[in-house]
Structure 1
């Protein structure tokens, strides 16, 4: 029986229950959109969203150490985050876990997603080098419950096992759409509102945007050579901007970050605060969702990014929750010595738009951004490049 015939996510969860899994921790991927949606409402399996893949593995290991059978879900682009706790915690301590990894970029990466090229190739040989057993779950292979059952037998011997998940293997035919969230107030900004406000207020500043819909929106609403659109490397845009700001103190940089991205490597705020770059403004758009992977909730509802930034040493901190308040808050931070952080209480919304890499090569994006220090000031504000309203 193929995965498609077996019912995708329903069979997957049935397999987890059959081997006694009671906790799943992970970072979402669109390949896991439907099983995660079911897990969030599951009466017998707790789903714990983690800030990064290594943390997910540690959470699952803690549950296993105290007697629960636990699993992890992660995207292969975050496999590197898993390696340290896998090799220094799960394997040497013989903590048996079942890890499901979506195989983005396998067997070949899409032209618009070159960031998946390398991780689409290397996960199987890395697992082989670590002597970690793994199985494949694909649309034309055995059903999800059968694969989970077979992989689960390894846990009984105290070993960790992986299941590599191909595109569509956990998709339900005719799955019901996710319930619409309660309608937010009209004044609450979405990412289009934020990007428009940033483009209206920047002059010569260069903008670095995190992976996902923020980068897509920035590209489509105001492409300019001074923009850097990050694809992949989730959680690292603040570090990237810090390095640029320290290397070019005579220029100014604006970071467009998301709540899921900021949470993934929240310690970057402490590094920014320690080095206090006066030429850096950090904007965190908090819509409490991993928007581009299916709208799964983050844990930001209990995190005050403004308070975190203040505690980490940011000189200027502001918080705004209305579209009308965006431009005044941005202007105040851009006119003051940084580092400054603007925490934006936003909502899910705005057109997803196309990726920059559908028209520009990612290497080309880096090349033109790097060239800007030789002609600083030549591409100011939203007038640099095209400005497409969507």
Structure 2
């Protein structure tokens, strides 16, 4: 189904959410249609943030907003769904558009398997009526569903469209990009060249995939790296938990800008805990690249400034490889909790693969290396 027919049938003029590859057609269309007009479209920090934004929109206008997300985001959304917008609290109606990763019977990555199984069950548990949208669905089907949903929305209840793989299409190709020149894969090479046997906790998405393949090319084992294949935004907290219990080791966290923004509160906790052995690196290309490339708020956020305000001992930015190497040398030989933002270009290899070991195998090898 052409995404324009989907959007027309839903009939709302405010969208907010977190990009998802399953919803790439919708995200690209919204970006093309609304651009930077935040009165109609906001890329949220996380899915709970998006629910609250939609609630604010409803309070201000009396109209219903739409929240889009990958199904993994249901967990982030549950708190405001249950304790803010539910009919027994404020009764704020929201239309959810949920990308169904890990749908039973559809091959996907391991981090999506369980979430895929419980996607519809979570909606049932939250008493959210839904329609599953597939490649065979039409704009008329969506319009009919909206007619059925209308009384629910008017009574303050929420509804959802669960989008299967390939259900939405869009011919437009938004122009995402930035002015930076360092490729993430090359940045990882420079980081690995200085970390030695130190443990690395790497964020979800393409960074972990590139780190895995880099180790393969170098003939290294994978035991040094914990690849956070799911749970976006939590790599730095995992790294903190390790650093506090392994004070004799230097612990490196390789983070992404979208992930850092998603749960930025983690930086405050890291700053307060103040582990002297933690090195927090955010590779910032200003985009949710793994799920399509839509921009993140980190394009305009002073991440080193945030780190310093949270209590990190020092914070730096690197915009080219000489600056990166100098900063990495400081992180390697300096002391105290430190933060490094690395400005990166968009893009990755077309033939980029995925880890060939399972998450359980990764965990067990990593733990043996730590001990």
TM-score, length of structure 1 as denominator length: 0.87
* d(CA) in 2 for partners of 1:254, 1:231: 17
* d(CA) in 1 for partners of 2:242, 2:106: 29
* d(CA) in 1 for partners of 2:186, 2:342: 11
Q: Is 2:194 the partner of 1:194?
A: no
Q: Is 2:103 the partner of 1:106?
A: yes
Q: Map of 1:76-91 to 2, 5 A cutoff?
A: 76-91=71-86
Q: Which residue of 2 aligns with 1:41?
A: 32
- Pairwise CA RMSD of aligned residues? 1.8
* d(CA) in 2 for partners of 1:166, 1:219: 29
Q: Is the 1:40–1:46 contact (alpha carbons within 8 Å) kept by the matching residues of 2? A: no
Report how far residue 162 of structure 1 moved. Answer: 1.4
SS at match of 2:160: strand
Q: Which one of 45, 50, 58 corresponds to residue 52 of structure 2?
A: 58
* d(CA) in 1 for partners of 2:127, 2:320: 52
Gaps of 5+ in 1: 375-390
Change (3 A) 1:317 1:88: same
Report how far residue 142 of structure 1 moved. Answer: 4.2
Report how far residue 147 of structure 1 moved. Answer: 5.7
Q: Which residue of 2 aligns with 1:380?
A: none
Change (3 A) 1:258 1:97: same
Q: Is the 2:91–2:155 contact (alpha carbons within 8 Å) kept by the matching residues of 1? A: no
SS at match of 1:41: helix
Report how far residue 148 of structure 1 moved. Answer: 5.6
Q: Map of 1:194-273 to 2, 5 A cutoff?
A: 194-223=187-216, 224-273=222-271
Q: Is the 2:203–2:232 contact (alpha carbons within 8 Å) kept by the matching residues of 1? A: yes
* d(CA) in 2 for partners of 1:131, 1:145: 20
* d(CA) in 2 for partners of 1:147, 1:74: 23
Gaps of 5+ in 2: 217-221
Report how far residue 109 of structure 1 moved. Answer: 5.6
Q: Which residue of 2 aligns with 1:12?
A: 6
Report how far residue 151 of structure 1 moved. Answer: 5.7
* d(CA) in 2 for partners of 1:147, 1:362: 42
Report how far residue 219 of structure 1 moved. Answer: 0.8
* d(CA) in 1 for partners of 2:25, 2:132: 19
TM-score, length of structure 2 as denominator length: 0.91
Q: Map of 1:59-208 to 2, 5 A cutoff?
A: 59-67=53-61, 68-91=63-86, 92-108=89-105, 110=107, 113-143=109-139, 145-146=142-143, 149-150=146-147, 152-153=149-150, 154-172=152-170, 175-179=171-175, 181=177, 184=179, 188-208=181-201
| Cα displacement string for residues 93-115 of structure 1 (whole angstroms, at most 9, x for unaligned residues) | 1001101111100024635x111
Count of aligned positions: 357
* d(CA) in 2 for partners of 1:136, 1:340: 46
Change (3 A) 1:299 1:321: same
* d(CA) in 2 for partners of 1:180, 1:82: 27
